[in-house]
Amino acid sequence: MSLQKTFIVFTIACMALVMAKTQRLNGLLPERSILNFMASSSRALQGNPTRSLECFDYYIPIIDETAQQYQWDLGNCTEAFENAQQAAFQASSEQRNQLAKTVNDSCEILIECENAATAEDVYQCYINQGPTEAKTLYTVSIDATSQYATLEEKIRQAQSEEDMCNTKARISYEKDSTQAYGELNSCILNDTPIPTTATPSSKV
Ligand SMILES: *[C@@H]1O[C@H](CO)[C@@H](O)[C@H](O)[C@H]1NC(C)=O
Ligand SMILES: *[C@@H]1O[C@H](CO)[C@@H](O)[C@H](O)[C@H]1NC(C)=O
């Protein structure tokens, strides 16, 4: 293998490595654009390996950065969901406490029946209080049903907001990475000058 061929193989292997790494990070790379990129670049790579390497040096960090930003964005989406979910749980805490109190009071009354003064009073207590407390417990069930529905609705909403947040992050990532690959491609094809500054010219 000539030195130049070795270099080209190395460059392509390097490129594949970067792509594999990015792909592992998120699994959502716009693969078609990468295939297009590889197809159109491989010929140019052979033409001017030194130039290609300089293009890679410049764009690989930018491409890494878009993937990193995507990870951060997804992390923020998850965090926002978790906060909203936590807030929904907390918002229901007072109501749940109230239900617990009602149940405790009802049970307390029935539990106390056995301590009534006489046998007749004990029976009267069960006979009278039984249906009353049963009714109270029934309203607990009704209230719990409606409170639970409210909680579920809040969580569903938080989930759909997370979905939208994830989608927004993915679209932005796809846009940024497609642009970076496009610019890298142009750089390799000699359409655009090799950027000279260490900092990216376009915000990604
Ligand atoms: C949220 O985004 C910011 C800026 O992009 C980032 O610094 C931070 O790490 C992200 N938070 C999480 C939990 O990923
Ligand atoms: C209900 O009773 C249980 C057991 O006696 C007690 O641990 C709990 O704190 C009570 N809850 C309320 C809200 O009063």
pLDDT, position 78: 98
Is the torsion defined by CA of 52, 53, 55, 60 positive or negative? Answer: positive
Nearest to 181 by CA among 51, 64, 27: 64
N-term to C-term CA, the chain: 38
Note whether 108 and 132 are within 8 A (CB). no
101 lines ligand 2 (CB under 6 A): yes
pLDDT, position 3: 45
Q: Model pTM?
A: 0.70
Shortest-distance ligand to the CA of residue 68:
1
97 lines ligand 2 (CB under 6 A): yes
List all residues whose CB is within 6 A of at least one atom of ligand 1. Answer: 72, 75-76, 79
Atom of ligand 1 nearest to the CA of 69: 5
Burial label, 85 (beta-carbon count in 10 A; 0-12, 13-18, 19+): middle
Atom of ligand 2 nearest to the CA of 103: 1
pLDDT, position 168: 98
Atom of ligand 1 nearest to the CA of 79: 13
pLDDT, position 204: 42
φ, ψ at 189 (rounded to 5°): -80, 0
104 lines ligand 2 (CB under 6 A): yes
Residue-level pLDDT, tens digit, the chain, 204 residues = 444 544 444 454 445 445 544 444 444 455 556 666 676 667 667 777 788 888 999 999 999 999 999 999 999 999 999 999 999 999 999 999 999 999 999 999 999 999 999 999 999 999 999 999 999 999 999 999 999 999 999 999 999 999 999 999 999 999 999 999 999 988 888 777 777 765 554 544
pLDDT, position 29: 54
Domain 49-189, classified CATH 1.10.287, yes or no: yes
Atom of ligand 2 nearest to the CA of 98: 13
Alpha helices in 2-48 (DSSP H): 3-26, 31-47
How many angstroms separate the alpha carbon of residue 82 from the centre of ligand 2? Answer: 29
Domain range annotation of the chain: 49-189
pLDDT, position 58: 92
pLDDT, position 61: 94
